Chain A
């Protein structure tokens, strides 16, 4: 089983749509969870940390289910500028980050 698994997509959605991405991780000892965003040939940029209670930042909502080892990201009212690859990232017993392969989102007008 891959350490962090994501649907690679692409997800093609119209502006204004709501889209959800899911991710599963294999190490039950993982402590910290993040969503990063990566534009083509650029560095990963932190979008948000994911907490057990769930958290929201504007149009973005992240959820964590430790029992199922499952993380989600919901984007509401999609904008053209949301087009990017969304990386599910986990760290385990140490502080190295373990990346998923990413889910590609394309928002069209």
Chain B
């Protein structure tokens, strides 16, 4: 069964450093998303991406964040200058169709900012 994959599974970085989280969505999916979950809290939407551009972003997704689909398979989330409060689980998700259509999540990257 096809699945979303993410690397690395755990990333430890120092405050102020740049990190890139990588995702490979399911191959025939067209819509891509990043969510995050701070420990003990609910899953929160960050950004959606379609046709090589951002469709929607949340208030969390400020100028420190960017997304890119550098080739036909990878989808990346970059945080330019990490803060302690960026420590969270980051999930990538993908979907085949718009509107009704289930999103499938990758296993996540645990980001720890020290």
Contacts and interface: CB of A to CB of B under 8 A. Distances in A.
Nearest to A100: B42
A22 interface: no
Contacts, number: 55
Dominant SS at the B interface?
strand
A96 B105 contact: no
Contact of A99 (B31, B33, B43, B102): B43
A87 interface: yes
A42 B89 CA distance: 9
Given A44-B105, A95-B31, A96-B48, A87 B43 contact: yes
A102 B58 CA distance: 21
Contact of B99 (A32, A87, A97, A98): A32
A45 to B, nearest CB: 7
Contact of B95 (A95, A100, A102): A95
A97 to B, nearest CB: 6
Interface residues of B, number: 28
A34 B42 contact: no
Interface residues of A, number: 20
Interface in A44-97: 44-46, 49, 87, 94-97
6 contacts: A43-B91, A43-B105, A95-B99, A96-B48, A96-B58, A97-B33
A18 interface: no
B105 A45 contact: yes
Contact of A96 (B33, B101, B108): B33
B65 interface: no
A41 interface: yes
Contacts of B45: 96-98
A3 B34 CA distance: 19
Residue of A44, A94, A95, A99 contacting most chain B CB atoms (<10 Å): A95
B100 A32 contact: yes
A95 B105 contact: no
B100 A31 contact: yes
Contacts of A44: 43, 91, 105
